[in-house]
Structure 1
Amino acid sequence: MIAKRTLHEGWKLSGDIEAPVNVGGRTVTGDDDSPVNVEWIPATVPGEVVADLLAADLIDDPYVDDTERELAWIGRTDWTYRTVFEYEPEAWDGIDLAFDGLDTIARISLNGTVLGETANMHRRYRFDAREAIREGANELEVAFTSPYAYAEVQRDRLGDRPNAYPEPGNFIRKAACNFGWDWGPNLAGAGIWRPVRLECWNTARIAEVIPRVDVVDGRGILDLAVRLDKAADTDLELVCMLEGRGHVAAVPAGADSAEIRFEVDDAELWWPRGYGKPRLYPVSVDLVSRPDVLDNWHSRIGFRTVELDTEPDEHGRPYQLKVNGEPIWVKGVNWIPDDVLPSRVDLDRYGRRLSQAAAANINCIRVWGGGIYESDDFYALCDHLGLLVMQDFLFACAAYPEEEPFWSEVEAEARDNLARLAPHPSLVTWTGNNENIWGWHDWDWQGDLGDRTWGAGYYHDLLPKLVAEVDGTRPYWPGSPYSGERELHPNEQAHASVHIWDVWNDEDYTRYRDWKPRFVAEFGYQAPPAWATVRHMVTDEPLEAETPAMLWHQKAQNGQGKLQRGLDAHLPPVRDFDDWLYFTQVNQARAIRLGIEYFRSLQPYCTGAIVWQLNDCWPVTSWAAIDGEERLKPLWYALKDVYADRLVTFQPEGDGLNMVVVNDSADAWAGVIGFWKCNAEGRIIGRALVQMAIDPRDKAVLELEPGSIPKDGEFLLTGREDFPRATWFTKEDKDMDWPTARYTTEVAVFDGGVAVTVTADSVLRDLCLFADRLDPDALVDKALITLVPGETVTFIVRSRAIAASPELQQALVAKPVLRAVND
């Protein structure tokens, strides 16, 4: 028998603070040699110190203005959590305290007896509490050492290593982005960040179940590797169920493990989005000592195969993901932690974010190596939604020491997460690190490192060995980017995966077309968040692009300058903050759309694109499509269009112009595509029809006749058909002789919102409706619409507040809510 009881109640928190610091608007003073004890405050578990200090009104919201600047002391403070729980003695063979996540350097004590210590945020821990527990009240204490204090000691002991940021985060197994990033704040605190339980058991318990799945000739094969902790040398049974199919395996005295195989004829396969249904099978294991069930485990699995084809070809080396033998064109986004404070990210929030990804026609999430291994809820939702997951091991943008204790910690962390995440069919690849091999080659590391370790032993030796040993069903790749051979430059575009950052950092976004990549794992372009988010994150008055708080929420090096470079190249001069906000968001969407359209036009040579990034962890100017308060930026709408199964795009070739038609659906696409040539006024001066027939998962390249190609000041656009409208402009908006926007509007109220119909009397370029300016919770169904005279579009706005207010409805159809580039 097993009894599991969460210990999430009654926690309090205290910190030994090196004075003086500012706490709750007052300065706490004391002798430098004698820390000041902050009074015990209520603590939430699971949770983190920053959230508890905020709940106790001891700090201001770190997400507003430059409050973050005042909170550096949190990461340099030792923190102690305590609670008391009741225990009634019973005859248990095992009494364990199980922690699913401790951040990070902790000493665990029960009734004054030290049970153990931890040094890794990214793994689970279990401590034997039999000798320390007592009848009645029990005091449980978790004492955290400052992450900075620990990391700096390790750095000084082992010698410094290069890091993209001047922080010691590579000397502690803690989320690298906790120490700040070019889109995130430095809030490197501590906490019991995942559940904690008291687990009492008799005879034996299930320590681990690793499901390994394969499909052979249509037959689904599930191998369950079960490992037990046994307190008694006795015969046991494992009763295993796979959706109504049963299997009993004996675990004789003297054994602590077993292998169970299920074979399912004509198994229904798990498929990613756009390729079929993500079929899941429930599976369970009961540990039995007749007649008692001692313990149980349950999950869901999917029958599917996954391959990563990286065999060299005549062009270099592909990076082709295949599921069930089917090549997948990866329509991806990079994922960072959805909040700096992970306790805020619950099942509902994961569901909202991943549903937004699916609604944008995304089929793949890359979990980036500077964050965390996400909760089981995240991967289970990806299983259900058919979202592929490419998972990094947690190393990013730095040289990592391989000496102890780090080698052992990395091994334990990898084993733990390989086993924990093994059930999830959505998880299809493991990658050794983010940009560290690239850093060793290109970022002037080698001279600084000398003969010191930097992580190569993890990426090339330890991690591939563990993936094969523990999992054995998923491909591993040493790094992102990585070209497949140590002798090759890791970001060689003809070989496997690349990151494209010269465009954002140094060049115009049209230079994406200068690349010819096999697979793009990172590329991105910045923009500020939605208006309602901006107004919460900064209180500057008047609000301008470079007011102090706006600049604090721009973490990228010369980020504002790079945004301005993009505006100068493409758009008319900004007149005010409203223009700046709208134009930068439009430019972000255009940049990424151009890149993805071009990469998709290269298929099958290019096999996927993963945009940096889907989400934000706080309100900030960044590369995200969904901002830190969960609002959609125009980029999200662009992704929805450019990742659609059926895509038409105009692509230059020499002095000519091609129409590339991509059919990524399971059905053939036959029909007629019409497009128009227009002058700057939007008058149609030429029409053409293209008859085409394209097989499933294929493309066609059609060279336009010279007479169809627009001349200086003219443009092309396709008709409004069953695919996103394609456009081609011969001049940038700043040089185009656009007429002033003219249009009429009509507002119709329905239950829960309004429908706004816009009829164009002139060209309307990238028309958007920013309803969050009137209601922060408003949702709009579309954006970035280009119309010619006589065309109409209807925006559906979900907002009860706007539906109930004639004044808001009037504001809905005027600037700065309704915008076009030529308004």
Structure 2
Amino acid sequence: MISKELHTGWTVRAVGGDVPAAVAGRTLSATVPGTVHVDLLATGELPDPYLGAHESDWAWFHRSAWRYEADLSEPAAEPGERVELVFEGLDTVATVTIDGTEVASTRNMHRTYRLDVRELLTGSNRLAVRFDSALEHAEKVEAQLGRRPRAYPHPINAVRKMACSFGWDWGPDLQTAGIWRPVRVQRWRTARLAAVRPLASLDGGTGRLAVHVDVERSGLEEAGELLVEARLPGLGVTGTARLAPGVVAAVVLLEVPGAPVWWPVGYGEQPLVDLEVRLSAAGRELDARALRTAFRSVAIDTTPDEHGSRFALLVNGVPVFVRGVNWIPEDHLLTRLTRDDYAAAFDRALGANVNLLRVWGGGVFESDDFYDLADEKGLLVWQDFLLACAAYAEEEPLRSEFLAEVRDNVVRLSPHPSLAVWNGGNENVWGHEDWGWKEDLAGASWGAGYYDELFPALLAELDPSRPYSPGSPANPGVPASELHPNDPDHGTHHQWEVWNRADYTHHLDAVPRFCSEFGWQAPPTWATLTRALAPEDLRKDSPAFLLHQKAEDGNGKLDRGLAHHFEVPQDFADWHWATQLNQARATSFAVEHLRSWSPRTMGSVLWQINDCWPVTSWSVVDGDGRRKPAWYALRAAHAPRLVTLQPREGRLRLVLVNDTAQEWVVDALVRRVDASGEVLASERIGGRVAARGTAVQAVPVLDGALGSTDLFVADVDGLRSVFCPVEDKDLPVVAGALEAEACAVDGGYEVRVRARSLVRDVAVLADRVAPDAEVDDMLVTLLPGEEHVFRVSSRAAVDPAEFTGPLVLRTSAVVSA
């Protein structure tokens, strides 16, 4: 096999639609892999759609058409030689031609296309790819098949394109087009490795790797018997399989006694093993593949119990409490992402003590870099199939596209030990039951055949090594007609009532078995917001600010959520801080509630870790990669050992969660303090919490807490939990409660604060001083006389006193002095 990338020499030009004068008639240099948006932005003549109100300035793109061209200088095929063009990703409605001869017409950005071009090559050809409007194509398919319900105006469910490319309640509506993944020409003879699927398992201390190999025979010359050899060179293990003439599939079984075992982060190490697969005929190598994989097992425990039925992820037989986050595309313009971008995002997730990323169904099957890094860093991956918030027709031309994209990506991702769960899609089963779809559908297909039949059948064939759930939320193995898909006592659960209609304290109303979506909004950090918006737009009712607030009545929900706890500030800077603090509080409240119920609850997957542009959203890391206050709240709530004060049956309890492999010997100090921080009563509690265990303690000093106007503070091993039964707006504001000083140090600055009376949620919003500034800690509660030192990393040369200014040094008194 000879493979050569075709990534240079491309041009692109508009060939349809009402395009701007700066674009019309121009031929631009094209980046491949890339998209037209990226190339247009590179000219510097069109506005950045992420800034101001410029997203609207790109609406013309939705109904435009584009033509990529490049010289294809490939020698004509020799006798017996196959020559193929391989496009790993075309976004989305594309026609591929060579010298005007059509070789493919594609309608799916989520799959690979392999095109036989041996009869067309002359040594000097012209390769072209025309992209037509995905929106117009979707409209035609919808007219053909009938409208299916969906959560958004565009027919996202009638074309196999990243759903959020058409806009979402946190994302822009840009509708990209282009050769978005690698393209290459491959030349081969006799036979090639069409697919290699290594499926790992563990049996006691023995690792087993079933290497499934699919072979394509050229049909142009006699192949005879083929030999497949699979090697684990680092472990000294080799296996072979012989394929008789005409046979195109084999399984090579490799057995490794005492195999190195891969664990998720926090549970052990992540040893990866190299796998080499070689295809040969009569001693001549025809093709080879090098992969990395690992030995581990995954399963989901759905055992019925007194509360309903479990949903617990088991890795190597060990129940793992999922401290997860939902992942959306890291940049709406996907092709700008690099391995370093993914690595930085993963480090932010790991810094927040995350152990699982859920790749949400409105995005994409992520890049190889994404899964490689997850393998290396021990981050589990929950992978949705790409259906979200819509009903999907089960007829052609969509059915065969789903079949092809799932087959492609299951095969591609099968080596990755990080991939732990396949999921049918996002909120589609729930939508069918609760969102009025049944009446609109009037008996038409809506996707049940995918979730209940097609996807399970494909996984049974291609990857029986991993568990599958028909959706999120859903109950594996139980039809929606028998059990509501969002029943908190069974399966996975989405909790959106607290954001949409109630305060976040209503998380206490249910104890879900596994909560795979919940969250609370806030604007991005100040530096990100002021990069995206002009000074005159820094108000919550400005058109530009509202264009970066995609949620229905988003600002109204932010204000109503604030009003439960704070006086809603009128000043925009104060409002910005208050909403960020409220998001942080909501995040802590929800995650601590869920973790406090382990092992009854076995998963908390926050919506969401990241953003794809600067926007007000549920993310804890904004679109510029800056950590919001909620990130620090999530880090604390996800800590391997958690101290939390939780209401239980009308009383306040001390709950200790130990998600480590060692027993926790506890010496807890629990105090009752008044609004100024004066200690009214205190008590020391000792005890032990088993490894991976949870302990609920009744503490006499907490008696009567839920009806009190005092605060309650629990301290264990440097961890602190504060419970306040009184809302902040009803607490007295103590003037001069905090004194602070700052100084420059190597690598940045230190901000030392000292409390004169009780001060809650002390934060240094360092990015307000310098865009590159990052603080090591946030949301610190101090009792009278206590000190804390915040460390700020920054290369900026500024007056250290700026870090103690009223808009930078913040507390739960949300109105600046």
Judge same fold: TM > 0.5, yes or no: yes
Do the aligned residues in 1 keep the contact of 2:763 with 2:811 (CA within 8 Å)? yes
Per the TM alignment, residue 532 of structure 1 is displaced from its structure 2 partner at its CA by 0.7
Do the aligned residues in 1 keep the contact of 2:165 with 2:173 (CA within 8 Å)? yes
Do the aligned residues in 1 keep the contact of 2:743 with 2:801 (CA within 8 Å)? no
User: Equivalents in 1 of 2:139, 2:630: separation in Å?
Assistant: 40
Per the TM alignment, residue 742 of structure 1 is displaced from its structure 2 partner at its CA by 2.9
Which residue is 1:110 aligned to?
98
User: Equivalents in 2 of 1:644, 1:599: separation in Å?
Assistant: 13
Indicate the larger mover: 403-412 or 289-298.
289-298
**1:193-212 equivalence runs, <5 A:** 193-212=180-199
**1:255-654 equivalence runs, <5 A:** 255-289=247-281, 292-483=284-475, 484-486=478-480, 487-541=482-536, 543-654=538-649
**Alignment of 1:142 onto 2:133:** no
Which residue is 1:239 aligned to?
229
Q: Aligned with 2:141: secondary structure?
A: helix
TM-aligned CA distance change 1:141 to 1:569, over 3 Å: same
User: Equivalents in 2 of 1:734, 1:104: separation in Å?
Assistant: 52
Per the TM alignment, residue 703 of structure 1 is displaced from its structure 2 partner at its CA by 1.4
Per the TM alignment, residue 707 of structure 1 is displaced from its structure 2 partner at its CA by 6.3
Do the aligned residues in 1 keep the contact of 2:76 with 2:122 (CA within 8 Å)? yes
Per the TM alignment, residue 74 of structure 1 is displaced from its structure 2 partner at its CA by 0.8
Per the TM alignment, residue 542 of structure 1 is displaced from its structure 2 partner at its CA by 5.8
Q: Aligned with 2:308: secondary structure?
A: coil
User: Equivalents in 2 of 1:122, 1:52: separation in Å?
Assistant: 21
Which residue is 2:695 aligned to?
700
Which residue is 1:128 aligned to?
116
**Alignment of 1:224 onto 2:211:** yes
TM-aligned CA distance change 1:421 to 1:316, over 3 Å: same
Which residue is 2:655 aligned to?
660
Letter in 2 for 1:176: A
Letter in 2 for 1:38: G
Do the aligned residues in 2 keep the contact of 1:648 with 1:724 (CA within 8 Å)? yes
Letter in 1 for 2:810: R
Work out which of the residue numbers 716, 740, 743 in structure 1 matches 2:738: 743
Indicate the larger mover: 600-609 or 557-566.
600-609
Letter in 1 for 2:432: W
TM-aligned CA distance change 1:263 to 1:526, over 3 Å: same
Could you give the per-residue CA deviations for residues 294-335 of structure 1, whole angstroms, max 9, x where no partner exists?
A: 321111111111111113223212111111110111111001
Letter in 1 for 2:392: Y
Per the TM alignment, residue 57 of structure 1 is displaced from its structure 2 partner at its CA by 3.0
Q: Aligned with 1:525: secondary structure?
A: coil
Q: Aligned with 1:180: secondary structure?
A: coil
Per the TM alignment, residue 739 of structure 1 is displaced from its structure 2 partner at its CA by 1.1
Which residue is 2:7 aligned to?
8
Letter in 2 for 1:175: M
User: Equivalents in 1 of 2:433, 2:45: separation in Å?
Assistant: 45
Which residue is 1:787 aligned to?
782
Per the TM alignment, residue 540 of structure 1 is displaced from its structure 2 partner at its CA by 4.4
Indicate the larger mover: 477-486 or 179-188.
477-486
TM-aligned CA distance change 1:811 to 1:43, over 3 Å: same
Per the TM alignment, residue 706 of structure 1 is displaced from its structure 2 partner at its CA by 5.3
Per the TM alignment, residue 523 of structure 1 is displaced from its structure 2 partner at its CA by 0.4
Letter in 2 for 1:572: E
**Mind listing any 5+ residue stretches in structure 1 that lack a counterpart?**
29-36
The alignment-based identity, stated in percent, is: 45
Per the TM alignment, residue 257 of structure 1 is displaced from its structure 2 partner at its CA by 2.4
Work out which of the residue numbers 686, 696, 702 in structure 2 matches 1:691: 686
Letter in 2 for 1:7: L
Per the TM alignment, residue 423 of structure 1 is displaced from its structure 2 partner at its CA by 0.3
Could you give the per-residue CA deviations for residues 535-583 of structure 1, whole angstroms, max 9, x where no partner exists?
A: 0111141621221211110000000000001111112341411111111
Do the aligned residues in 1 keep the contact of 2:47 with 2:54 (CA within 8 Å)? yes
**Alignment of 1:187 onto 2:158:** no
Query: How many residues are paired up?
Result: 804
Do the aligned residues in 1 keep the contact of 2:474 with 2:493 (CA within 8 Å)? yes
Letter in 1 for 2:807: P
**1:46-85 equivalence runs, <5 A:** 46-85=33-72
TM-aligned CA distance change 1:156 to 1:707, over 3 Å: closer
TM-score between the two structures when normalised by the length of structure 1: 0.95
TM-score between the two structures when normalised by the length of structure 2: 0.96
Letter in 2 for 1:526: Q
Do the aligned residues in 1 keep the contact of 2:669 with 2:685 (CA within 8 Å)? yes
**Alignment of 1:816 onto 2:807:** yes
Per the TM alignment, residue 763 of structure 1 is displaced from its structure 2 partner at its CA by 2.1
Per the TM alignment, residue 741 of structure 1 is displaced from its structure 2 partner at its CA by 4.4
Do the aligned residues in 2 keep the contact of 1:686 with 1:708 (CA within 8 Å)? no
Per the TM alignment, residue 72 of structure 1 is displaced from its structure 2 partner at its CA by 1.6
User: Equivalents in 2 of 1:674, 1:701: separation in Å?
Assistant: 15
Q: Aligned with 1:541: secondary structure?
A: helix
Q: Aligned with 2:330: secondary structure?
A: coil
TM-aligned CA distance change 1:58 to 1:154, over 3 Å: farther
User: Equivalents in 2 of 1:280, 1:741: separation in Å?
Assistant: 55
Letter in 2 for 1:715: L
Per the TM alignment, residue 291 of structure 1 is displaced from its structure 2 partner at its CA by 5.0
Indicate the larger mover: 746-755 or 648-657.
746-755
TM-aligned CA distance change 1:535 to 1:246, over 3 Å: same
Letter in 2 for 1:237: L
Per the TM alignment, residue 723 of structure 1 is displaced from its structure 2 partner at its CA by 5.0
Per the TM alignment, residue 23 of structure 1 is displaced from its structure 2 partner at its CA by 4.7
Do the aligned residues in 2 keep the contact of 1:333 with 1:366 (CA within 8 Å)? yes
